[in-house]
Structure 1
Amino acid sequence: MTRTDIPTTAGPAEGAAPRRPKPRWLLGLGPLVLIAVLLGLFSLLNGPGLSRLGEGVPPKEDVAVEDIRLTPGQIVLTVRNQGPDPVSIAQVNVSDYYAAFTQTDDVLDPMEASSITVSYQWIDGDPYDIALVTSVGGKISASIDAAAPSPERSSSFFGLMALLGIYVGVIPVAMGMLWMPFVGRSSAGWIRALLGFTVGLLAFLTFDATLEAFELVAGNSSFGGPLVVILGALISYLVLEATDAWMRRRQDPADVRQKTALSPGRLALLIAIGIGLHNLGEGLAIGSAYAVGSLALGASLIVGFAIHNTTEGLAIVTPLAHERPGLGRLVVLGLIAGAPAVLGTLIGATVYQPTLAAFLLGLGAGAVGQVAVKLLPMLKDGTGRTLTPLTATGIILGIAMMFATGLLVQA
């Protein structure tokens, strides 16, 4: 007898089509759907087996007062629950007097905001201490340094805010760009000094906006608190970097060397965008401060803002020293840098929210910081050194100028 070999594994049938692999998008989406289903079930079942963890633990109450407006006979507060547990406001105390009040929501869920209208005959110019007492006895404190009626938000008010944005944003930047003829006739050494001045200016704006944003959310942990400032700065920095890289690949696909160089026109545009984002946050802070009556806008303060922002126009035109940009191009760059101040004042006067203001200031800080980094290679002299006595002096003068003019706008 002849022994027949029997195969140990069964292969695919002869002529059968190979199994098609699953789409890659489905492999990526599957775990996300499973995670969402599991989290949904966990939430619906209220954490099976964990219901006793919170027994005997008092609720954590963390409420922030985001806005205070004064109208005749009333104090209107905007509060937000930034804690993990629901909060109910039971009483309102104004300078040791328990006042009657109404609120849009009786119970504040986590991250929810409410408007509390307090009936109180306040006196113009007097200071007041406000305490919101919760249903479990907690206290949320706020203060009014000097009572003054909040401006009425009418069409004339918004027209005033737009005019204010033009005064502190558009006009100063345009005035600074008048140095274009001076920059165009400067020597190479002077250009490096002016570029150093621009780096110092941008560096000051970066730190100034960051510190101001941190101050806005110092006692407010809703939406991440100080983390929103860092998030805003990272977003604007990375977006500008990615946009710059995309523009290089698109405009210079064949020249490898050009890909690593930043053209003066593109650099001026990046400076205008960075300054514009900064002026958006600055305008928002100005508009909101005036809307709540904490900023008295006199002619001297407007002049201070104008002087402080005039140097921003110089920063925009300095990279264009060896070019002859047309008037239309300069106008566009000026509007990109200055017009966001108008938008900022209107937003700040309408829907002020400290976390939003801090986020926008973070955007501006990241943007001007990115542009400052892009400017550094242009400071190099013939020997390849970036920090020479000339450029270092320019950087110091830029910081000193912004610091000195910043003292004019302290309010």
Structure 2
Amino acid sequence: MEQAQAKALNQSFLIALKHELRRHRFAAAGMAVSVSVIMLLLLQSTLVELQNGGGERFQNALLGGFGGFVSTAVGAFAALLMRNIKARTQDVMLGFAAGMMLAASAFSLVLPGVEAAERLLTLPILAVATVIVGMGLGVLLMLGLDRFTPHEHAKTGPCGPGVERIGRVWLFFLAIALHNLPEGMAIGVSFAENDMSVGMPLTAAILFQNVPEGLAVALALRAALLSPLMAAVVASGTGLMELLGAFIGIGIGTGMPLAYPVGLGLAAGAMIFVVSHEVIPETHRNGHQTPATLGLMGGFSALLVLDTLLG
């Protein structure tokens, strides 16, 4: 009986997924292109690394991804020490994280990507176009994941195929996990050329902003009627996507010569998409637009200082 029910649920999920694919052909095609490019670059870079006997850059990228998981867990378990945080404070914290993500995208991904492309191409406009193509791939990837992965947004509610068969807590978990994937990709691709002046400031920025982010996620899960300990554990689990993203990012960036600037652009496009699509709307939905915007400016400025000190 249970096997029959499970089979019926799987079939209904596939039907819902096929329906979504037909309704949103553009997003599906864009995601297919992005995933295909990523898989080809991963395969090519893996073959290169096997021929070279591995490399320090892979270790640095995976350590950075693991650090992203740890920093998320630190923020999540800090929620155990707090009974509650005002919505205004949470919005300021998320705004601060958004500011750091935007600054990291611009100064640690887009600009180094243009510089790397200029070393390979003769015309500056071609270098800029290369990074823009990467950004477009990142946006298409996130559009596809957002459309075809069941999850829940705080304001618009559940979305994606099969949401009615998944608990609200796990929908929220998937939403945050998708949020963390481009951060991990950014860490990974930033170490693709083993350039510490690119990798260290960006990784440090993501690790810093993960702490208030993990805290806010744990508090939100607790508000969804999870126990404080379970909320901290689930919020920490979302950080594992940063480790996966770092592996994907280093694989993308160590392929063909142009793969590095394209990969930097891809990570930047994905991060900017998340900030605009998820984080900023979340900070504004409670009527705290001004404090959240000031938090964003603070985060942007903090990354500038960090980038100057570590870059």
TM, length-normalised to structure 1: 0.48
Q: Aligned residue for 2:104?
A: 205
SS of residue matched to 1:323: helix
CA distance in 2, matches of 1:345, 1:238: 19
CA distance in 2, matches of 1:274, 1:344: 9
Pick aligned residue for 1:249 from 144, 150, 160: 160
Are residue 371 (structure 1) and residue 274 (structure 2) matched? yes
Pick aligned residue for 2:188 from 267, 280, 288: 280
CA distance in 2, matches of 1:276, 1:264: 19
Per-residue deviation, 1:338: 3.4
- The correspondence of residues 258-277 of structure 1 with structure 2, limited to 5 A, is 264-277=172-185
Q: Aligned residue for 2:40?
A: none
- The correspondence of residues 189-204 of structure 1 with structure 2, limited to 5 A, is 189-204=88-103
Q: Aligned residue for 1:188?
A: 87
> Contact between 2:75 and 2:213, CA under 8 Å: does it hold in 1?
no
- The correspondence of residues 9-408 of structure 1 with structure 2, limited to 5 A, is 155=53, 158=55, 160-183=56-79, 185-208=84-107, 209-221=109-121, 225-246=127-148, 247=150, 248-252=159-163, 264-286=172-194, 289=195, 307-314=204-211, 316-317=213-214, 318-324=216-222, 329-330=234-235, 332-341=237-246, 353-373=256-276, 374-380=278-284, 382=286, 385=287, 387-388=289-290, 390-408=291-309
> Contact between 1:172 and 1:310, CA under 8 Å: does it hold in 2?
yes
Matched positions, count: 233
Per-residue deviation, 1:393: 2.1
Q: Deviations over 1:53-93 (max 9, x none)?
A: xxxxxxxxxxxxxxxxxxxxxxxxxxxxxxxxxxxxxxxxx
CA distance in 1, matches of 2:247, 2:173: 25
SS of residue matched to 2:118: coil
Name the amino acid aligned to 1:365: A
Per-residue deviation, 1:354: 4.0
Per-residue deviation, 1:344: 5.1
> Contact between 2:134 and 2:262, CA under 8 Å: does it hold in 1?
yes
CA distance in 1, matches of 2:162, 2:100: 29
CA distance in 2, matches of 1:214, 1:198: 25
The alignment's C-alpha RMSD in Å is 3.5
SS of residue matched to 2:289: coil
> Which protein is bigger by CA-based radius of gyration?
1
Per-residue deviation, 1:308: 3.5
SS of residue matched to 1:178: helix
CA distance in 2, matches of 1:283, 1:227: 22
Say which structure is richer in helix: 2
Q: Deviations over 1:81-132 (max 9, x none)?
A: xxxxxxxxxxxxxxxxxxxxxxxxxxxxxxxxxxxxxxxxxxxxxxxxxxxx
Per-residue deviation, 1:218: 1.8
SS of residue matched to 2:221: coil
Per-residue deviation, 1:250: 1.1
**Change over 3 Å in CA distance of 1:161–1:406 after alignment to 2:** same
Unaligned residue ranges in structure 1 (runs of 5+): 1-152, 290-294
Identical counterparts, % of pairs: 15
TM, length-normalised to structure 2: 0.62
Name the amino acid aligned to 1:407: T
Unaligned residue ranges in structure 2 (runs of 5+): 1-50, 151-158, 223-229
CA distance in 2, matches of 1:201, 1:326: 25
> Contact between 2:221 and 2:231, CA under 8 Å: does it hold in 1?
no
> Contact between 1:213 and 1:229, CA under 8 Å: does it hold in 2?
yes
Say which structure is richer in strand: 1
SS of residue matched to 1:218: helix
> Contact between 2:185 and 2:249, CA under 8 Å: does it hold in 1?
no
**Change over 3 Å in CA distance of 1:341–1:244 after alignment to 2:** closer
Per-residue deviation, 1:161: 3.9
Per-residue deviation, 1:343: 6.0
**Change over 3 Å in CA distance of 1:193–1:219 after alignment to 2:** same
Q: Which has the higher contact order (CA 8 A, sep 6+)?
A: 2
Per-residue deviation, 1:387: 2.5
